[in-house]
Homo-oligomer: A and B are copies of this chain.
Amino acid sequence: MNVIVDLTVVPIGVGVSLSHYVAACQRVLEEAGLKTQLHANGTNIEGEWDEVFAAIRRCHEVVHAMGAPRISTIIKAGTRTDHAQTMDDKVRSVRDKL
C-alpha cells in the first residue's frame, strides 16, 4: 500500500531551536531511500506504508538519542485505491485549476 505522508517532528525539552533535530530526521528519511520534499511546516514523503512508518519510528529513535526527552509528532497519511497518485500529481492537480 502506497502512502503520501506529511511529517512534522517537534522535539520537546531541548530549547527553542529545532532545526538540528529536523535535519537529522530528514537524513533518516533520505537514507531509507524515500522520496521527500521539505517544506516550511514539515516534510512530505512518498513510499510504501511499511517503509515510511519504519523511517518515522527511526526518526523518533534518532531524535531521542540526540537528547530530546520528549517528541510530539504530527503525521498526515493519505492512501487511495482508485488510482496511483504522486506528490507532484497532487500539486499539479490544484495548480491546473488556479
By a CB distance below 8 angstroms, the chain B residues around A27 are: 98
Known A37-B39, A44-B39: A77·B82 in contact at CB below 8 Å: no
A47-63 vs B, Cβ < 8 Å mask (1 yes, 0 no):
00110010011001100
By a CB distance below 8 angstroms, the chain B residues around A39 are: 6, 37, 39, 44, 91
Determine how many copies of this chain the complex contains: 4
Given pairs A73-B75, A73-B76, 16 additional interface contacts (CB within 8 A): A6-B40, A10-B72, A12-B16, A13-B15, A13-B82, A19-B97, A23-B95, A38-B94, A40-B88, A41-B76, A42-B76, A49-B57, A50-B57, A64-B81, A70-B80, A74-B74
